[in-house]
Amino acid sequence: MRIAIANDNEINLSILVHIIEEQTEHTVAWTAYDGSEAINQCKRDIPDIILMDIVMPGINGVEASKTIMQNTPCAILIVTASVTGNAAMVFEAMSFGALDVVQTPFSSLSSNKNEVTDFLRKLNVVKSIVASSAEKTNSSLPNNIASTQSKKNTLVVIGSSTGGPGVLATILSQLPADFPLPIIIVQHVDSSFSESFSSWLNKQSLLDVRLASTGDRPKPGSVLIAGKSEHLVMCSNGKLAYDEEPKNLVYKPSVDVFFNSVAKQWKGSTIAVLLTGMGKDGALGLANIRQIGGHTITQTKDTCAVYGMPKAADDIGASIESLDPDKIIGSIMNIIDGKR
């Protein structure tokens, strides 16, 4: 794959170039020292992946990511020296379409082998996501959908990926403090940064937002977020757990794995929402929830940073509704009020 690098630090840029050229099969398409140069370079030559620094002079990585995703979209991996220190900027960039974030490997020497290993692992994940987004989802819903869920104990589940943080912030900010349903979210984000992500979302909502722990039971008015590099699953006793299996999936946690466990184990009714994201994770899980009588919603194409996951769901008839983010809570409130 052809990889571009935008980083204003000459040493860090050189390290990234060296790692890519010496330790991977990829090639360096071009380099840029600030966001403006990255935008212009992208107009001339769109790479497969951009390694985007966040803090740069002039146009920073957030604005550069926004402009590139609007005009010359491609996969963007945020590479920054401090994820926690730049958390708000990182999640803002991810809201505009950056796929994920990883710590800058400060040296390619053997003494910093762990940093390089983490970087290469994340680069391979992004490569797999880009490849999987081109695959078709081979499935379809049956003509007759059986309603097997109880109308009591309604649970709201949300899956999102590329562009998801901003949409989730929009949705959670609209919820009243007395919102009567539990919400569980699976967002594709590295577990190293999930605590920062939940804290960032907690500031956007009147509800309590925190990471899900093993043994948690969904409670009305609470928002739980998958927070490990394992799959969040619903158990038969109505409690949450984490599971390493299946190990071969690109996404950990996976929206499909969680949605499928909800379809199989949750004894009440389900409202499932699939938001913006590259790839197709969550489409089959959404279809399974619809098949057993859940209410399913996808995000509209025009409002998605990447219309990948919702498209995969729409293509197989998994969604009952396709809504703009600011209309999703209204739809859920109508269901709660018995208007639907």
The residues that are catalytic are: 161, 188, 281
Longest pairwise C-alpha distance within the chain:
62
The count of other CB atoms within 10 Å of the CB of residue 96 is 21
51/98 Cα distance (integer angstroms): 10
Nearest to 189 by CA among 165, 224, 154, 155: 165
Residue 257 CA, chain-centre distance (Å), reads 14
> Is the separation of the CB atoms in 182 and 220 below 8 Å?
yes
Tell me the two tokens of residue 134.
């081109």
Residue type, 13: L
Question: Rounded distance, CA 67 to CA 316, Å?
Answer: 31
Closest CA to 193 of 169, 162, 225, 216: 225
Listed in sequence order, the residues at least 6 apart from 172 whose beta carbon sits closer than 8 Å to its beta carbon are 201, 204, 205, 207, 209, 223
